[in-house]
């Protein structure tokens, strides 16, 4: 379990995160919902050590987690909003480069890449990335995040701009990872997809956590999840 406790962050006079606390549980997919500007990406950036929070503590199980410490940070892989690839390298080379950063052994890396390409139906690994469509890039970005097989996976809007067949493939891969015991959190604006994928829901608005609980608890707010969401964020 990855836990955030009392996270606050201000940019100038703007209090962007206000005492945010929640956890990501093992073997669960947690949907992180909130309107534009609610603080989702800022929360994720703090968790990854990209920005320094004003207050707040993180824990991996019961051990304090300090994002700057590589030995703990390496348990988390992620896809950020607007993630980019090495455009001049092909898909395979992009993956292999990352495998080297994670210090994966050569044959193990090759095997993992092959498996992920197969699962995500990436049959265009030999083409340079600059020729990829948005959906093709998005799948490669996800494959790259899955490569080290980290215990925690954090995805910032991984399914935005993705067609229905590709979404289906990605969803199946995420479910499989979850069933293998990973704790996955992803932010999204697509509520129908939350019912399909998530067991846990967190709603943030104006930097405050407005809801955290199971998908059934979320649904019990209102039969229509869009109405439930609106009631929480106004
Ligand atoms: N480096 C920064 N400097 C100043 N303000 C920032 C900075 N980063 C984020 N903000 C502000 O923090 C607020 C939360 O932004 P954040 O990107 O976390 O929202 P979000 O929930 O991810 O929204 P979206 O759904 O649009 O991606 C916004 O008002 C944004 O302008
Ligand atoms: Mg965002």
For the chain, what is the largest distance between any 2 Cα atoms, rounded to a whole number of angstroms? 52
Percent of the chain with pLDDT over 90: 92
* CA-proximal residue: ligand 1, atom 16 (nearest): 39
Percent of the chain with pLDDT over 70: 100
Ligand 1: distance of its center to the CA of 37 in Å? 5
- The reported pLDDT for the residue numbered 193 is 87
Ligand 2: distance of its center to the CA of 171 in Å? 20
Give the residue-averaged pLDDT of 131-155.
Answer: 95
Number of domains in the chain: 1
Give the residue-averaged pLDDT of 127-156.
Answer: 95
pLDDT band of 227, cuts 50, 70, 90: very high
pLDDT band of 81, cuts 50, 70, 90: confident
Residue 70: which domain range?
2-233
Give the residue-averaged pLDDT of 59-87.
Answer: 94
H helix runs in 56-187, sequence order: 70-73, 91-101, 106-119, 134-146, 164-179
Which segments within the chain are labelled E, that is strand? 2-11, 14-24, 28-33, 55-60, 63-64, 76-79, 152-156, 183-187, 200-205, 208-214
CATH code at position 201: 3.40.50.300
């Amino acid at each position: 379990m990855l836990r955030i406790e009392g996270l606050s962050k201000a940019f100038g006079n703007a209090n962007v995160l206000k005492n945010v606390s929640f956890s990501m549980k093992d073997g669960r997919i947690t949907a992180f919902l909130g309107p534009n500007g609610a603080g989702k990406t800022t929360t994720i950036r703090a968790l990854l050590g990209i920005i320094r929070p004003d207050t707040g503590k993180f824990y991996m199980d019961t051990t304090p987690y300090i994002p700057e410490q590589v030995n703990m940070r390496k348990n988390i892989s992620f896809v950020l909003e607007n993630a980019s690839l090495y455009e001049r390298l092909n898909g395979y080379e992009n993956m292999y480069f990352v495998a080297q950063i994670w210090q994966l052994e050569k044959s193990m890396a090759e095997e993992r890449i092959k498996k992920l390409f197969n699962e995500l139906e990436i049959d265009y690994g030999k083409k340079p990335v600059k020729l990829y469509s948005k959906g093709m890039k998005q799948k490669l970005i996800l494959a790259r995040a899955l490569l080290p097989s980290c215990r925690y996976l954090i995805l910032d809007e991984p399914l935005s701009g993705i067609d229905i067949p590709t979404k289906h493939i990605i969803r199946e891969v995420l479910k499989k990872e979850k069933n293998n015991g990973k704790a996955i959190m992803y932010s999204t604006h697509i509520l129908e997809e939350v019912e399909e994928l998530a067991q846990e829901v967190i709603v943030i608005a104006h930097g405050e956590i407005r809801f955290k609980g199971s998908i059934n608890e979320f649904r019990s707010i209102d039969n229509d999840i869009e109405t439930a969401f609106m009631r929480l964020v106004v």
